[in-house]
């Protein structure tokens, strides 16, 4: 029987379906008498006509009604209406433990806490003679508040109510869960040996099943695996599971001993009662919890062959283990914050966000990841969120031996998130200080609370900012402004606002630079007033000073300050390289672009920028090699095709260059009419015809945008229209276009290789260079 919204079962009004199972369906409903939300479980018509199924349904009601415990779902009512049997229970929001595990091991504190809570529920049930008989992750709910609730007493028995073999006839077998209800009571993978043999279940059978659940929580794998019922039975009856600490480095050997006793084949060898198990878990929890604010996960003893020096490190994307997983922006933002915190250690190269995020949801092993990123150590972390509380668990791993170098779990409220970043940094520092190549010490900044909503709005802003397009940058600005409305003293949000206005004014949006750049500059200065040690804020200010003020000296000073505070800040290396190229300090420029690549080796923009800087340095073979490497990473990255085309043309390889230019147009999603026109021009008049038609198409698209004005000026120069080129460059200058910083570096943006060499001797061009404070070139 399916119920529609608004249907009534006695005093209960159906709101919506929330789940279905073999017995029937579960609905969210409203108790009209008490005006509270409840869950209603009904028996389907087929099962209602089956005496054995109906007995199971009624057994669940009797079992739950006999219990009153915070870790057992509360029963409110039982009823029957027009042939429909139903029970009314507490409505719980959250996820089943099966969903929480999701093939990932949980932090030790969560395993212990939830193990104690389920053990407490079993203790209460066993005291009144109820044996659950179907303990498994799918029958445990983790609420949004982080509380474990034991569900589904449909297979429960009252101790002494039956004897001998425990079989139920006329039941079905579920292939997914390997539930043998037609043969044995329970779910095969979590059965005790006595249940697997069809013998009477006791309270110690429930403890065995709970042991299998704890094992899965700690290792992401089942204690007794198998691909068939026969294989699982054989494993339960005849094998001993691998100790959890050998599967998960964060699990202490004390936990192994608890599991070993829980999973004894003989019931008499297990814990006598749930109370004994709770005592053991509490003892281990106390051992691993030195203070209410920090829980230290045990690590393996005396790991061999630790690295003598850590010169480089990667922080992998956090795994969200929350009962109700957060939105993507939250966990991605925490990952970025953790990367920044670790980078503050100094003395080692830290892989930047873009490259680290490439391993989100990866199945690659740590040794392989470390090899691809060329790092000596890896930080892998997980986060569990309950409302405004966070539990962050971090492991520092030696990828060569896969041994744990350091492991800690931090419990914090969102209001204390800044101190969490600092605690992680200090803890890693104290653990690996002697192994870091150089350790200049962490610059101490005042730690202050931050409004949780302001912090989340900041993370959401960075999520949109990282997408780097006009619509998402607009969203980012809204998020950062909301964050600052809530907490105007939060410096990172001012930096995010500065970065967003910079990019919409530079060329990733259509905001007038005269409007966007002063806003960006003011926001960066406000961030530095609040936190002078914020490397990102120095970098933000340097971007504006480079691309808008053309104040090269101040920009260089802020780039250097940013890198002194965070030597792995890829954005600072990136723009410092461009600044140095504009000043024609070529070797320094190439040094910094390589440093940017080392900190962010999988970033497409930075890989492409390597090719651009080699092109600007007129090292065409290296530009070609770098551009082809970028295209191996993503063939649809249009700008890399443009750079490759420019370098090939400079080498005299016009045919290959034209193909790259045309490919750049196609993957850049230019109008098909425009692409066809440029292709025809090339076929008719060669590479010069291609550039002439490209110029005409750009003139047709001209709508006043400053960045296009510069590109048109470059195309005019490349096709020999010197006077027209100077007119368009003057337009770009008066608009304060950020593209003007490319005047001395060449312009692969415009898909030409001739630079502005034909203009450099003209007085008007030299005057333009002087107004930009750029060095004059011969």
**pLDDT score at 303:** 38
pLDDT bin (cut points 50, 70, 90) of residue 509 is: confident
Better-predicted residue by pLDDT, 208 or 364: 208
Query: What local confidence, expressed as pLDDT, does residue 250 receive?
Result: 81
pLDDT for the residue 495? 96
Beta-strand pair 319-320/377-386: parallel
Q: Which of 219-223, 226-230, 610-614 has the least mean pLDDT? A: 226-230
- Residue 359: CB atoms within 10 A of its CB come to 21
Tokens of 340: 């920044």
Q: pLDDT band for position 679 (50/70/90)? A: very high
Structure-token match 């077998």, residue found: 173
Backbone angles phi, psi at 409, to 5 degrees: -120, 130
Tell me: the pLDDT tens digits for 6-26? 899 989 999 998 876 556 788
Q: CA–CA distance from 131 to each of 22, 118, 120, 126, 195 (Å)?
A: 21, 13, 13, 6, 12
528-541 per-position pLDDT tens digit: 999 999 999 999 99
Q: Are strands 319-320 and 389-398 parallel, antiparallel or unpaired?
A: unpaired
Cα dihedral value 414, 417, 419, 425, nearest 10: 140
Per-residue confidence band for 192, with pLDDT thresholds at 50, 70 and 90: very high
Highest mean pLDDT among 160-169, 198-207, 246-255, 514-523: 514-523
Give the Cα separation of 346 and 112 in Å (integer). Answer: 35
Element (DSSP H or E) covering residue 522 = helix 513-530
The share of the chain scoring above pLDDT 90, in percent, equals 43
CA gap 600, 150 in Å, rounded: 46
Strand partners, 80: 85
Q: Is the pLDDT of residue 176 over 70?
A: no
Backbone angles phi, psi at 89, to 5 degrees: -130, 170
Helix, strand and coil percent figures for the chain, each rounded to 5: 55, 15, 35
Report how far residue 568's alpha carbon sits from residue 158's, in angstroms, rounded to the nearest whole number.
63
Residue 249: Cβ within 10 Å count: 19
Q: In 501-629, at which residue ranges do the beta strands (DSSP E only) sit?
A: none
């Amino acid at each position: 029987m399916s119920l529609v919204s608004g249907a009534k079962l006695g005093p209960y009004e159906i709101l919506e379906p929330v789940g279905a199972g073999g017995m029937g369906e579960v609905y969210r409903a409203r108790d009209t008498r008490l005006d509270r939300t409840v869950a209603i479980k009904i028996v389907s018509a087929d099962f209602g006509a089956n005496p054995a199924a109906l007995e199971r349904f009624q057994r669940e009601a009797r079992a739950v009604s006999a219990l009153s415990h915070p870790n057992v779902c509360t029963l409110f009512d039982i009823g029957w209406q027009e042939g429909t049997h139903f029970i009314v229970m507490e409505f719980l929001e959250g996820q089943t433990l099966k969903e929480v595990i999701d093939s990932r091991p949980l932090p030790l504190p969560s395993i212990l806490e939830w193990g104690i809570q389920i053990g407490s529920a079993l203790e209460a049930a066993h005291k009144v003679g109820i044996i659950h008989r179907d303990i498994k992750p799918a029958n445990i709910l983790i609420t949004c508040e982080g509380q474990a609730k034991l569900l589904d007493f449909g297979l429960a028995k009252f101790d002494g109510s039956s004897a001998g073999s425990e079989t139920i006839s006329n039941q079905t077998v579920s292939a997914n869960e390997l539930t043998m209800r037609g043969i044995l009571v329970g779910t095969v993978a979590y059965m005790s040996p006595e249940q697997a043999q069809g013998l009477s279940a006791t309270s110690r059978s429930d403890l065995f099943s709970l042991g299998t659940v704890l094992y899965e929580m700690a290792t992401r794998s089942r204690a007794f695996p198998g691909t068939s019922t026969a294989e699982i039975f054989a494993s339960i009856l005849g094998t001993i599971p691998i100790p959890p600490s050998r599967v998960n480095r964060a699990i202490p050997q004390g936990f192994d001993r608890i599991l070993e006793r829980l999973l004894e084949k003989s019931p008499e060898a297990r814990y006598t009662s749930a109370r004994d198990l709770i005592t053991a878990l509490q003892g281990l929890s106390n051992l691993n919890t030195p203070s209410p604010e920090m829980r230290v996960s045990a690590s393996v003893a005396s790991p061999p062959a630790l690295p003598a020096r850590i010169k480089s490190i990667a922080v992998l994307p956090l795994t969200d283990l929350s009962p109700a997983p957060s939105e993507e922006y939250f966990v991605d933002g925490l990952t970025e914050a953790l990367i920044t915190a670790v980078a503050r250690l100094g003395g080692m190269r830290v892989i930047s966000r873009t490259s680290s995020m490439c391993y989100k949801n990866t199945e690659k092993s740590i040794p392989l990841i470390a090899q691809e990123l060329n790092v000596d150590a890896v930080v892998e972390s997980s986060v569990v969120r309950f409302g405004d509380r966070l539990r962050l668990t971090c492991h520092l791993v030696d990828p060569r031996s896969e041994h744990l170098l350091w492991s800690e779990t931090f419990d914090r409220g969102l209001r204390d998130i800044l101190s969490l970043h600092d605690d992680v940094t200090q803890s890693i520092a104290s653990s690996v200080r002697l192994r870091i190549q150089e350790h200049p010490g962490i610059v101490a900044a005042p730690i202050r609370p931050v409004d949780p909503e302001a912090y989340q709005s900041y993370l959401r802003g960075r999520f949109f900012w990282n997408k780097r397009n006009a619509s998402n940058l607009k969203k980012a600005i809204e998020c950062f402004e909301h964050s600052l409305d809530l907490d105007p003293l939060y410096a990172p949000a001012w930096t995010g606002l500065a970065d967003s206005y910079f990019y919409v004014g530079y060329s990733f949006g259509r905001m007038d630079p005269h409007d966007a750049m002063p806003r960006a500059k003011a926001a960066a200065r406000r961030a530095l007033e609040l936190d002078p040690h914020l490397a990102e804020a120095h970098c933000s200010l340097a971007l504006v000073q480079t691309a808008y003020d053309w104040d090269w000296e101040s920009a260089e000073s802020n780039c250097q300050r940013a890198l002194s505070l965070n030597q792995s800040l890829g954005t600072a290396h990136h723009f410092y390289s461009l600044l140095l190229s504009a000043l024609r300090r070529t070797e320094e420029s190439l040094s910094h672009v390589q440093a940017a690549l080392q900190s962010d080796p999988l970033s497409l923009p930075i890989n492409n920028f390597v090719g651009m800087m080699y092109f600007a340095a007129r090292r065409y073979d290296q530009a070609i090699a770098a551009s082809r490497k970028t295209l191996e990473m993503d063939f649809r990255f249009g700008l890399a095709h443009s750079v490759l085309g420019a370098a090939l043309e400079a080498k005299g390889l016009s045919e290959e260059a034209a193909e790259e230019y045309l490919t750049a147009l196609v993957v850049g999603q230019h109008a098909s009419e425009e692409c066809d026109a440029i292709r025809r021009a090339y076929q008719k008049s060669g590479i010069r015809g291609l550039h002439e038609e490209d110029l005409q198409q750009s003139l047709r698209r001209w709508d006043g945008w400053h960045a296009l004005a510069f590109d048109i000026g470059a195309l005019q120069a490349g096709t020999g229209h010197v006077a027209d080129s100077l007119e368009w460059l003057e337009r770009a200058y008066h608009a304060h276009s950020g593209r003007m910083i490319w005047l001395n570096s060449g312009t692969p943006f415009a898909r030409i290789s001739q630079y502005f060499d034909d203009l450099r001797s003209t007085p008007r061009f030299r005057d333009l260079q002087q107004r930009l404070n750029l060095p004059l070139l011969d």
